[in-house]
Chains A and B, each alone.
Chain A
Amino acid sequence: MIESLFPNVNWESMWEATVQTAYMTAISVLATFILGILLGLLLFLTGRGNIWENKFVNSIIAGIVNLFRSIPFIILIILLIPLSVYIIGTMLGANAALPALIAGAAPFYARMVEIALREVDKGVIEASQSMGASNGEIIFKVLLPEAMPALISGITVTAIALVSYTAMAGVVGAGGLGNLAYLEGFQRNNPDVTLVATVLILVIVAILQIAGDVATRVIDKR
């Protein structure tokens, strides 16, 4: 039955593409989470009235973040091809897409992290200072835990954006469902392949959204 509905779908390569998309998404989400929190923390802490207030460092980081956020992703991929070749050794395949995916998503997430940290009650930070907490303790025991629900819902949004980035990267040769939909579906005129690839992408997005919502709900004790 399935064979007759989707005559052109090669299920083996469809599964392989799904795994590739999941792989690219997983690695880039993980890297974006870490890098974004680092950048977001730096943005926040060097901002006005904060513990490492430093106008110079702050405006440099803000500049880089804004620059990368403004470049359309498809152009970012092309711009970063030399970097991918240098780090990964090739411009093709799932790994080659990672630098562009992370460079595109981390600045985006860094801004969300900064906003989440700004929402943390100033009074709580002050109370921690009054107890003699060091800056490290304030960051790891107060700022990050108190901002965690916003950090999680932010990474959920970013992860979903990353799924569509992987599809775009696929067109340029990174593999995955986007690549399959473009090469097998669009160029060879097999709409059933495009349809199945789309449904699979939607399933991945739905899983991410549900996982994010559940995690936020469990963590949020406000």
Chain B
Amino acid sequence: MIELKGINKTFFSKSGKVQAVKDVNLSIKKGEIFGVIGYSGAGKSTLIRMLNLLERPTDGTVTVAGNNLSSLKGKDLRAARQEIGMIFQHFNILWSRTVRDNIAFPLEISGVSKEKRMKRVDELIKLVGLEGREAAYPSQLSGGQKQRVGIARALANNPKVLLCDEATSALDPKTTDSILELLTEINQKLGLTIVLITHEMHVIRKICHRVAVMENGRVVEKGSVLEVFHHPQEEITKDFVNQLSEPEEMKESIAHLAVSQDGELVQFTFLKGKTGSPLVTELIRQFDIEVNIIQGKISHTQDGPYGKLSVFLKGEPAVIESALKYVREQGVEAEVITND
């Protein structure tokens, strides 16, 4: 659905040149929710803005829904943009228009007749759950409601792709969840391809199928969300994954436990549908060890649960060894956390 080939973007300004995006190649499939994560200044906004050519790439080609956007100009580019919806961190809706007229705006641009516009607006208001607020002005709405207007507006012309630039960063956690749920629902109901950028790993975890990690203008790592969570390769990716799984203080208490007793501190990592409890039961039944659960967390991703369980195994080293072998045979990863 989206194909980026050899994308570079350099900004020239008085203070010199900034290479905001470097040699990015990405291929995003139809119907998937693709996340891009990175710290501030990594080039995420610049990248997503090149997907509808708000920013023209210095090199490379951008193909969206079969259109080679980077070769288009003027009228053709404007027509192609109507197939790509976009939502923004600060919503960017017109304060001078009511909810209804804001949502009708892209339909006016694409030349839909007034009668059809009103019908479509009603559908969209229902889709995003803004019934009863049609006549309100943006100043009378909460942040979450404003973003719903933004989403309805972005979907008005039945786009094939929805771009989200930090769409939840200005919202509180609860509102963020409700907007993410709405995006997931739209993705499933309409089969819409969604590209979203964020600096928050939990956003990626909750709704993305695949993720790319950006650092200094480059995509340094990409893959399915589960895979990246499970086997982060780069330091920066590990940092992002750790945002979710292990708060720092927990790590400290684990290290403390590990030196104070005989035994091994082990972290089990579960994938796809497996959960911790039967395994622990089996360990106690089959081996002469004590299993002390220290910390556990199951995160739900779009591809199934992903969990980590930290346990302290107390017993003879040889018995622990064979217990770990058994665990690994069950398809669960076991990592002995060395205490040094």
Q: Give a binary string over A135-165; 1 marks a CB under 8 Å from any B CB, 0 the rest.
A: 0010001100110100000000000000000
State which residues 186-202 of B face A: CB under 8 Å: none
B79, B86, B97, B108: the one contacting A127 at CB < 8 Å is B86
Binds A, one of B87-95, B222-230, B310-318, B323-331: B87-95
Cβ of A125 to closest chain B Cβ, rounded Å: 9
Q: Which of B77, B96, B153, B163 contacts A221 (CB 8 A)?
A: B96
Taking CB atoms, residues of chain A closer than 8 Å to B237 are none
The reply to whether B90 and A123 contact each other, CB–CB distance below 8 Å, is: yes
CB within 8 Å for A131 and B95 given contacts A123-B88, A123-B90, A221-B137:
no
Complex CA–CA separation, A132 to B110 (angstroms): 8
Cα of A55 to Cα of B54 in the assembled complex, Å? 22
Distance of A133 Cα from B110 Cα, bound (Å): 8
Contact B94 A142 (CB under 8 A): yes
Q: Is B81 an interface residue when CB atoms closer than 8 A count as contact?
A: yes
CB distance from A116 to the nearest CB of B (A): 13
Residues of A near B80 (CB, < 8 A) are 132
- Taken residue by residue from 112 to 132, chain A's Cβ proximity to chain B (1 for < 8 Å, 0 otherwise) reads as 000000000101101111111
A146 near B82: Cβ-Cβ < 8 Å = no
A121 touching B92 by the CB < 8 A rule? yes
Contacts A145-B94, A221-B139 given; does A130 touch B86 at CB 8 Å: yes
B49-90 interface (Cβ within 8 A of A): 52, 54, 77-82, 84-86, 88, 90
- A-side binding surface: helix, strand, loop or mixed? helix
Shortest Cβ distance from A126 into B: residue: B54
Residues of chain A within 8 A of B96, CB atoms compared: 145-146, 148, 219, 221
Most buried by B among A127, A137, A222: A127
How distant is the Cα of A134 from the Cα of B78 in the complex, in angstroms? 7
Q: Are B109 and A133 in contact (CB under 8 A)?
A: yes
Cα A134 to Cα B77 with chains together (Å) = 10
Interface size on A, residues (CB 8 A): 21
Which B residues lie within 8 Å of A132 (CB)? 77-82, 106, 109-110
B39 within 8 A of A: no
A219 to B105, CA, bound (A): 19
Q: Are A222 and B78 in contact (CB under 8 A)?
A: no
Contact yes or no, B105 A130, CB < 8 A: no
Q: Among the listed A121, A129, A148, which residue makes an inter-chain contact with B54, where contact means beta carbons less than 8 Å apart?
A: A129
Question: A141 is contacted by which of B78, B108, B138 (Cβ under 8 Å)?
Answer: B108
Contact of A124 among B54, B93, B108 (CB under 8 A): B93
Nearest CB of A to B102, in Å: 10
B95 close to A146 (CB less than 8 A):
yes
Can you list 29 A-B contacts (CB < 8 A)?
A121-B90, A121-B92, A123-B88, A123-B90, A124-B92, A126-B54, A128-B105, A128-B109, A130-B54, A130-B163, A131-B81, A131-B82, A131-B106, A131-B153, A132-B80, A132-B82, A132-B110, A133-B78, A134-B78, A134-B109, A137-B108, A141-B105, A145-B97, A146-B94, A146-B95, A148-B96, A221-B96, A221-B138, A222-B139
Known: A131-B81, A132-B109, A134-B109. 17 other contacts (CB 8 A): A123-B90, A124-B92, A126-B88, A127-B92, A128-B109, A129-B54, A130-B54, A130-B163, A131-B105, A131-B153, A132-B82, A132-B110, A133-B78, A141-B105, A145-B96, A221-B137, A221-B139
Q: Which 7 A-B pairs have the closest CB atoms?
A: A127-B92, A132-B78, A132-B81, A123-B92, A221-B137, A130-B86, A131-B106
